[in-house]
């Protein structure tokens, strides 16, 4: 009888676990289907161990070869966190110092001094926490089979580098600004002090000691490892030519890995923080790594939560790949998700929240279910359009069935339920938007209220959704050829862009390497213009006064392009959109 009872209990536990596991797997597959994600791989950490490693989908959108838990993905900027551990290891070996001028140890290249570095110097601490004033946010990578620059060429912005020079343009330590360029300086610094190639150093001192057997910083990959990779897809789900890009900026963006290996990396930090064995770093150094330097940025990782719910992590993006790592500091919990697509939605965040709720983890937002009210269709339609969520980051609303839905990459993302005539609440997060209008009743933006993050701010309207069936006469037809010439120069970059008229200095600087999409421009057809002067929209350090929507014919399927103009008619940015 006792054996029968034990068997029944074990059977019920087995059934409950598998029903729950099926619920989790079903949720992930539904999210992937909604967003047309070809492949996804994840690892879940519970009690300081990998509880679940699971793969979904295929290595490319053809759907023939399944993703496995050993399939390699590009980690994007999660590479920085792992590289940071290598740099901190060198600090503990007394080969580097966190607060010394990096030029003391740099041999192959030096950070050029200027008026900003007169009294304050670039340090490793500043590089790791993005507070050095070094330029170049991120890197687009290089095509397989093309010319690959050296790290020194990248740092100086000389051919065949496709990014501007890495330079200091504000006083080190005075403020925070994300800099992949800084981590590339760190890469050269580590090579100079060790005399060892960066991939070899990281393998010997970080990856192998942590059991990250499926990880490498080798760029390009050797053929035997290239066979194990997923294929990258852009946000329109177009395949990356050559399957992926090459990133000689290895510390910033060059890690090939798996979620299970990144979970091992996270567990090593948790162990070191607790004073346990199994880490590259000491307890004291790990605690420095997890200390806020500025803007919730530690040394190579970002921080979330308070003292009792503190988490560390990083997001990553390379051409065709996205990644996410988040882990508790002292609760032995964590999640790593990697996909073979660039996806601008909240999908990975929804998966994280689902897993946290599923395992009853503390420190994650508890969502409240909004009570919907009726809003007439005309009012709802007026809220459709595009808004400048952050600098150079748009959010798009589309109305449907008494709801507003955000669109990302042309696919539905987040649902917002009306809770008042002009206020809508997300079903995913504790976030609400309250739309505002001018004296004529025209919507000019919304107020974003994020209860979980504890802030409220104004978000200006960019313009309506594009509609080719609602064409208008261009009030200034003479500007279209000028805009076309400016856009063509932005596509080509280099000397052509430098000598072109009709562009702001910021656009010339930031598009020096050209634009990846569209590769060609054949014609522009005017659709709409919106006066946005005074709404606080800024692109590439210039105030935007007008945004013109054109239908675009190019090498891409017919789409639309939003052209951002200054008050004197100069092009300062553009965005490709689906509608």
Q: Count the Cβ atoms, other than its own, within 10 Å of residue 53.
A: 17
Final residue of a structural domain among 291, 325, 358: 358
Could you read off the pLDDT of 225-242 as tens digits, one per residue?
999 999 999 998 999 999
Could you read off the pLDDT of 270-288 as tens digits, one per residue?
999 999 988 999 999 999 9
Does 26 reside within a domain? Answer: no
Left if phi > 0, otherwise alpha if psi is -120 to 50, otherwise beta: which for 50? Answer: beta
What's the gap between Cα 228 and its chain centre? 24
Same-domain pairing of 105 and 153: yes
Could you read off the pLDDT of 336-364 as tens digits, one per residue?
999 999 999 999 999 999 999 999 998 88
Q: Above 80 in pLDDT, residue 532?
A: yes
Does 48 reside within a domain? Answer: no
Same-domain pairing of 417 and 444: yes
Closest CA to 74 of 267, 225, 269, 192: 225
Between CA 81 and CA 129 the distance in angstroms is 11
**pLDDT at residue 3, rounded to an integer:** 52
Total structural domains within the chain: 3
**Least confident piece of the model among 9-13, 75-79, 127-131, 299-303:** 9-13
Between CA 410 and CA 62 the distance in angstroms is 20
Q: Above 90 in pLDDT, residue 542?
A: yes
- Do 154 and 249 meet the contact criterion of CB atoms below 8 Å apart? yes
Q: Above 70 in pLDDT, residue 498?
A: yes
* Residue 547 confidence class, pLDDT cut points 50, 70, 90: very high
Greatest alpha-carbon pair distance for the chain in Å reads: 91
Q: How much of the chain, in percent, has pLDDT values that exceed 70?
A: 95
Between CA 356 and CA 365 the distance in angstroms is 9
Please list the residues that pair with 258 across neighbouring strands.
Answer: none
CA distances (Å), origin 550, targets 322, 476, 500, 558, 576: 30, 13, 21, 11, 10
* Residue 323 confidence class, pLDDT cut points 50, 70, 90: very high
Burial string for 147-166 (b: 16+ CB within 10 Å, else e) reads ebbebebbbbbeeebbbbbb
Same-domain pairing of 288 and 433: no
User: Higher-confidence residue: 83 or 556?
Assistant: 83
Between CA 359 and CA 24 the distance in angstroms is 11
Q: Count the Cβ atoms, other than its own, within 10 Å of residue 566.
A: 20
Final residue of a structural domain among 292, 323, 358: 358
Same-domain pairing of 445 and 517: no
* Residue 2 confidence class, pLDDT cut points 50, 70, 90: very low
What average pLDDT score do residues 519-531 get? 88
Between CA 252 and CA 74 the distance in angstroms is 12
What's the gap between Cα 70 and its chain centre? 23
What average pLDDT score do residues 179-199 get? 98
Does 21 reside within a domain? Answer: no
**Least confident piece of the model among 27-41, 149-163, 447-461:** 447-461
Does 59 reside within a domain? Answer: no
Classified as helix, coil or strand, 13 is helix
- Do 291 and 231 meet the contact criterion of CB atoms below 8 Å apart? no
Classified as helix, coil or strand, 301 is coil
Same-domain pairing of 454 and 544: no
Same-domain pairing of 533 and 458: no
Does 509 reside within a domain? Answer: yes
Convert 95-162 into a string of H (helix), E (strand) and C (coil): CCCCCCEHHHCCCCCCCCCCHHHCCCCCEHHHHHCCCCCECCCCCCCECCCCCCCCHHHHHHCCCCCC
Does 5 reside within a domain? Answer: no
Same-domain pairing of 150 and 224: yes
User: Higher-confidence residue: 476 or 352?
Assistant: 352
**pLDDT at residue 182, rounded to an integer:** 98
Same-domain pairing of 406 and 514: no
Q: How much of the chain, in percent, has pLDDT values that exceed 90?
A: 79
Pair of tokens at residue 119: 């009294």
Could you read off the pLDDT of 114-133 as tens digits, one per residue?
999 999 999 999 999 999 99
Closest CA to 358 of 56, 42, 73: 42
Same-domain pairing of 274 and 341: yes
**pLDDT at residue 19, rounded to an integer:** 43
Pair of tokens at residue 276: 């346990």
**pLDDT at residue 20, rounded to an integer:** 53
Q: Which helix (H) or strand (E) holds 88?
A: helix 78-92
- Do 41 and 259 meet the contact criterion of CB atoms below 8 Å apart? yes
Does 6 reside within a domain? Answer: no
**pLDDT at residue 306, rounded to an integer:** 86
- Do 546 and 456 meet the contact criterion of CB atoms below 8 Å apart? no
Classified as helix, coil or strand, 7 is helix
Q: Count the Cβ atoms, other than its own, within 10 Å of residue 339.
A: 29
Pair of tokens at residue 302: 């970002």
CATH number at residue 393: 2.40.128
Q: Above 90 in pLDDT, residue 555?
A: no
Please list the residues that pair with 216 across neighbouring strands.
Answer: 256
Final residue of a structural domain among 408, 437, 463: 463
**pLDDT at residue 377, rounded to an integer:** 87
What average pLDDT score do residues 558-576 get? 92
Between CA 293 and CA 296 the distance in angstroms is 7
**Least confident piece of the model among 53-57, 252-256, 478-482:** 478-482
CA distances (Å), origin 524, targets 466, 479, 483, 551, 571: 13, 11, 9, 6, 15
Burial string for 115-145 (b: 16+ CB within 10 Å, else e) reads ebbeebbbbbbbbbbbbbbbbbebbbbbbbe
The beta-carbon contacts of 155-159 under 8 Å, at least 24 apart in sequence, are: 155/109, 155/181, 155/184, 155/185, 155/188, 156/109, 157/512
Between CA 538 and CA 549 the distance in angstroms is 17
- Phi and psi at 259, nearest 5°, equal -60, -35
**pLDDT at residue 15, rounded to an integer:** 42
Same-domain pairing of 447 and 505: no
Same-domain pairing of 309 and 438: no
Between CA 281 and CA 24 the distance in angstroms is 34
CATH number at residue 138: 3.40.710.10
* Whole-structure pTM value: 0.85
* Residue 469 confidence class, pLDDT cut points 50, 70, 90: low
Catalogue the E-assigned strands of 451-498.
Answer: 455-463
What average pLDDT score do residues 103-121 get? 97
Could you read off the pLDDT of 131-166 as tens digits, one per residue?
999 999 999 999 999 999 999 999 999 999 999 999
Q: Which residue's structure tokens are 């590439």?
A: 540
Sequence-distant (6+) residues with CB within 8 A of 206 are: 82, 85, 86, 89, 212, 280
Pair of tokens at residue 350: 């929804």
Range of the domain at 425: 377-463
Question: What single DSSP character describes residue 203?
Answer: I
**pLDDT at residue 16, rounded to an integer:** 44
**pLDDT at residue 553, rounded to an integer:** 84
Sequence-distant (6+) residues with CB within 8 A of 279 are: 210, 268, 269, 271, 272, 286
Q: Above 90 in pLDDT, residue 554?
A: no
How many degrees, rounded to 5, is the angle at CA 109 between CA 108 and CA 111?
155
Same-domain pairing of 86 and 186: yes
Does 37 reside within a domain? Answer: no
């Amino acid at each position: 009888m006792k054996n029968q009872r034990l068997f029944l209990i074990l059977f019920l536990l087995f059934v409950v676990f598998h029903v729950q596991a099926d619920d989790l797997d079903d949720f992930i597959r539904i999210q992937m289907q909604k967003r047309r994600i070809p492949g996804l791989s994840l690892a879940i950490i519970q009690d300081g161990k990998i509880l679940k490693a699971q793969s979904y989908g295929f290595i490319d959108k053809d759907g023939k070869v399944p993703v496995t838990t050993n399939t390699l993905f590009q980690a994007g900027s999660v590479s920085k966190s792992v590289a940071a551990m290598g740099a901190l290891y060198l600090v503990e070996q007394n080969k580097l110092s966190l607060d010394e001028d990096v030029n003391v140890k740099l041999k192959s290249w030096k950070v050029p001094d200027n008026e900003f570095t007169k009294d304050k110097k670039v340090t490793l601490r500043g590089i790791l926490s993005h507070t050095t004033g070094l330029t170049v946010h991120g890197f687009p990578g290089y095509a397989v089979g093309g010319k690959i620059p050296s790290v020194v060429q990248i740092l100086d912005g000389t051919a065949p580098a496709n990014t501007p020079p890495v330079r200091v343009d504000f006083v080190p330590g005075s403020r925070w600004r994300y800099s992949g360029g800084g981590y590339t300086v760190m890469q050269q610094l580590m090579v100079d002090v060790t005399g060892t190639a960066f991939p070899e150093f990281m393998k010997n001192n970080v990856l192998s000691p942590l059991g990250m057997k499926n990880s490498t910083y080798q760029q390009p990959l050797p053929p035997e490892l290239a066979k194990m990779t997923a294929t990258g897809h852009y946000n329109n789900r177009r395949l990356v030519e050559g399957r992926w890009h090459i990133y000689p900026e290895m510390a910033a963006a060059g890690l090939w890995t798996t979620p299970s290996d990144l979970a091992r990396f996270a567990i090593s930090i948790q162990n070191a923080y607790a004073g346990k064995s199994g880490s590259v770093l000491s307890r004291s150094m790990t605690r420095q790594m997890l200390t806020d330097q500025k803007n919730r940025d530690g040394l190579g990782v970002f921080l979330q939560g308070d003292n009792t719910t503190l988490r560390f992590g990083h997001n990553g993006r390379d051409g065709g790949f996205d990644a996410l790592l988040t882990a508790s500091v002292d609760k032995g919990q964590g999640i790593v998700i990697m996909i073979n697509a660039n996806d601008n939605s909240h999908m990975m965040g929804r998966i994280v929240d689902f897993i946290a709720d599923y395992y009853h983890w503390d420190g994650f937002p508890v969502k409240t279910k909004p009570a919907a009210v009726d809003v007439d269709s005309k009012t709802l339609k007026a809220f459709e359009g595009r808004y400048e969520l952050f600098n150079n980051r748009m959010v798009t609303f589309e109305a449907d069935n008494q709801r507003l839905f955000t669109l990302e990459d042309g696919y539905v993302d987040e649902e917002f339920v009306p809770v008042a005539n002009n206020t809508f609440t997300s079903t995913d997060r504790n976030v609400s938007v309250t739309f505002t209008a001018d004296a004529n009743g025209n919507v000019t933006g919304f107020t974003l209220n994020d209860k979980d993050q504890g802030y409220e701010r104004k978000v200006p309207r960019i313009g309506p959704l594009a509609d080719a069936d609602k064409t208008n006469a261009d009030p200034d037809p003479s500007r279209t050829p000028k805009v076309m010439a400016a856009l063509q120069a932005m596509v080509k970059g280099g000397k052509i862009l430098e000598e072109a008229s009709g562009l702001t200095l910021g656009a010339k600087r930031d598009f020096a390497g050209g634009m990846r999409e569209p590769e060609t421009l054949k014609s522009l057809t005017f659709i709409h213009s919106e006066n946005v002067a005074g709404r606080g929209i800024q692109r590439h350090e210039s105030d935007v006064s007008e945004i013109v929507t054109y239908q675009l014919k190019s090498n891409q399927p017919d789409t639309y392009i939003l052209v951002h103009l200054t008050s004197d008619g100069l092009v300062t940015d553009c965005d490709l959109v689906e509608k």
